[in-house]
Structure 1
Amino acid sequence: MLIRRKMLLVVGGIVVLAIAVWALTRPAKTRLVPSSAVPVRVMTVVEQDLPRYVTGIGSVLSLHSVVIRPQIDGILTRLLVKEGQLVKAGELLATLDDRSIRASLDQAKAQRGESQAQLQVALVNLKRYKLLSADDGVSRQTYDQQQALVNQLKAAVLGNQAAIDAAQVQLSYTQIHSPVTGRVGIRSVDEGNFLRMSDAQGLFSVTQIDPIAVEFSLPQQMLPTLQNLIAAQQSASVDAYMGADTDGPTANLLGEGHLSLIDNQISATTGTIRAKAEFTNAAQKLWPGQLVTVKIQTAIDKDALVVPPTIVQRGLDSHFVYRVNGDKVDIVPVQVSYQNSDVNVIRGVQVGDVLVSDGQSRLTAGARVNILKEAPQAVQAEPAS
């Protein structure tokens, strides 16, 4: 009985061991897992005119800035303008003491009158001597001497007139007029001070504000482009911004102007070319000495196929995009003719093609895609910079 029980236990162990070995070594069943679609976002290619821009840092310059200085020595008697006042060209700004100059002018006029009276008498005598010399009433020598006296008195009258003109010029210097239309700067001299021509500081400055200019530098490679813009019939537009942002919602446009000139040489030390743009500045947002960012329109790409940079992928040898074809994607090689941080201009696709804009990392040729719920977006690219 005991032997039979032992045999049953041995047989049962062998059966359990055989089942375990079979379970571990049997071939696994192959399960077919359906491939899942890759979620992507897409954009539709559109055709649009794309302006190209170049940006640079510039400084605002007045087209005409004058330091007002005296042209004669004298006491400042009146200041007729205030600091910060807008003045017009020719407007009286200040006056100097003119009493000594007026006295010199009156003296010169008196001397001219005396010389004119003497000349009148000499001319009468010359006329008489001429008649007498015809009948030998006076000698030829006497007549020649009288002629010399007339010439001498004529020269004296001219000298007196020159002295009068010089005194009038000196008198005009006692009234200081504005040579330009602009804004008066901070005054450095008060009424009652004695002014000298040698004073370097001057009374104040008058600076033209409207119109105004911006001078900026660009890389020397831009020289042909700038030359074409200068030679064009229509002046190239130039915008001036506060700060580096020229496209975003925080962009602060200060003025719109046009390219006016480029410098006649390239800087050998920096490899840049200087240029200047002119702006109307009625609102006075541009101020002399201010640093601004200038944005120049250099060209317009007509009917360009514009896409955001995220759409274009870089392959081993070329660029490509994923184009949606039904519920799958195709790989389409493209050529990038222009690119910057905001847009790419490409060739190789057609208007209306739906391209993948997000989710490319999991895509391969022929992969199924699941376009996210929002409708395909049309490409709305920012202007090229």
Structure 2
Amino acid sequence: MFLLAAVLLVGLAGLYWWQQQPSRAASAPAAPAPVRVHLATVQVQDVPMWVQGLGTGEAWQNVVVRSRIDGQLEELGFHEGDMVQQGQLLARLDDRIPRAQLDLARAQLARDQIQLDNARADLARYRQLATRGAIERQVLDRQAAQVAVLEATVQADDAQVAHAQAVLDDTRILAPLSGRTGVVNYDPGNQVRMSDAQGLVTIRQIDPIAVRFMVPDTEFSRIQSALHKGGDLPVEVFDRASGESLGLGSLVLMDNQIDEASATLQLKARMSNPEQRIWPGQTVDVRLTIGQYPQALVVPDQAIQRGVDSLQVYVAEADDRVRLQPVEVGVVQEGMALVSSGLRAGERVVIDGQYKLRPGLAIEAIEGTS
């Protein structure tokens, strides 16, 4: 009886032990699910070579309009802030005195011209008489001198007429260039003097407009080399707040010295500005194109990860597993990285979800990746 109880106890203990062991199927680790990631394909393309700078818009031409004579301002032909065209009437001064002076000069010219015509007619008759010996040579010479004096008088009268006409013309102040007007410094009824430093108004030409910008002096060699190749160097200007493109133009000036204090090189671009999106005094971002990187390997810059000793990317293999690949990157611009070594065209790289990965893991490309 005792032996039977012992056997039964051992059997129950063995059964309990067996039930406590996990099954073989349960003890085998399950394969991890593929990690869902975004992929991008390594592309080969020509990439522009840029130099970035910070610039300021300024008028292409800037003119302070001043009167060339003193006079009372009668009327204005524009309003403050108007766009005016070259030759447009800006202001008119009181022209009564200049007009009277012109009439007087013309009258003097007419009188002296009549005297000159009579003197020339007399000289012609005297010459005929002198050929027959009817008059003395002295009389002929005196008449010729009189003609010369009257000719000089008429020339002086012509100059007086031209001067009076110029003074009269100056009572009409015309726009010397096309551009936008600023603050008007005189209202009609005020006395305007040609010695006034502030002038009547300032006109700034803003189409085209100039953008003066600075780049690090380390870019000098590259810019100089690009200029020696000839042709225009394109310049694009961007709004600092939104990053929106404001206009396109070309480089027209590289300063003849480097600013030692700031270690910068000053450049100037001429920009087309038909919509007036660039304004004098506005601070803008500037991008100068000085060439291109031909047939460069390009990947989105978010694919690049910084490792302990190098930059690296996760490359998707043909079996949809990843490997960690060290790379060298030359330039990063506009969200794209130019890879100088470590990748081949057509390879797929992970651009999102790298923190979930380790070498050898299986991946699943999210729909819509390139």
- TMscore range, shorter length: 0.7 to 0.9
Q: 1-side partners of 2:348 and 2:164: how far apart? A: 85
Query: Structure 1 residues 269, 363: CA separation in 2 closer, same or farther (over 3 Å shift)?
Result: same
Task: Give CA-to-partner distance per residue, 1:285-343, whole Å, 9 cap, x none.
Answer: 22222111122333333332223445445667765544344466555443333345843
Aligned residue runs from structure 1 range 310-325, under 5 A? 311-312=303-304, 319-325=311-317
Aligned residue runs from structure 1 range 288-303, under 5 A? 288-303=280-295
Q: 2-side partners of 1:155 and 1:111: how far apart? A: 13
Aligned residue runs from structure 1 range 172-187, under 5 A? 172-187=169-184
On the 8 A contact 2:323/2:360 being kept in 1, the answer is: no
Query: Structure 1 residues 130, 259: CA separation in 2 closer, same or farther (over 3 Å shift)?
Result: same
On the 8 A contact 2:38/2:353 being kept in 1, the answer is: no
Q: 2-side partners of 1:113 and 1:327: how far apart? A: 103
Aligned residue runs from structure 1 range 236-385, under 5 A? 236-243=233-240, 250-309=242-301, 311-312=303-304, 319-325=311-317, 326=319, 329-330=322-323, 332-339=325-332, 342-346=335-339, 347-357=341-351, 367-371=359-363, 374=366, 377-378=369-370
Counterpart among 213, 216, 220 of residue 216 in structure 1: 213
More off after superposition, 93-102 vs 109-118: 109-118
In the alignment, structure 2 segments of 5+ residues that lack a partner are 1-26
Q: 1-side partners of 2:210 and 2:334: how far apart? A: 29
On the 8 A contact 1:75/1:96 being kept in 2, the answer is: yes
In the alignment, structure 1 segments of 5+ residues that lack a partner are 1-30, 245-249, 379-385
On the 8 A contact 2:226/2:291 being kept in 1, the answer is: no
Aligned residue runs from structure 1 range 137-152, under 5 A? 137-152=134-149
Query: Structure 1 residues 128, 374: CA separation in 2 closer, same or farther (over 3 Å shift)?
Result: closer
Query: Structure 1 residues 76, 237: CA separation in 2 closer, same or farther (over 3 Å shift)?
Result: same
Look up the SS of the partner of 1:350 in the other structure: coil
Counterpart among 36, 39, 50 of residue 43 in structure 1: 39
Counterpart among 190, 193, 202 of residue 190 in structure 2: 193
On the 8 A contact 1:238/1:257 being kept in 2, the answer is: yes
Counterpart among 154, 170, 184 of residue 157 in structure 1: 154
Counterpart among 73, 83, 88 of residue 85 in structure 2: 88
Q: TM-score, normalised by structure 2?
A: 0.80
Task: Give CA-to-partner distance per residue, 1:79-119, whole Å, 9 cap, x none.
Answer: 12112222211111111111111222122112212221221
Aligned-residue Cα RMSD (Å) equals 3.2
Task: Give CA-to-partner distance per residue, 1:217-262, whole Å, 9 cap, x none.
Answer: 1122323433455466663332222215xxxxx4333223333332
Q: State the partner residue of 1:382.
A: none
On the 8 A contact 2:182/2:201 being kept in 1, the answer is: yes
Look up the SS of the partner of 1:141 in the other structure: helix
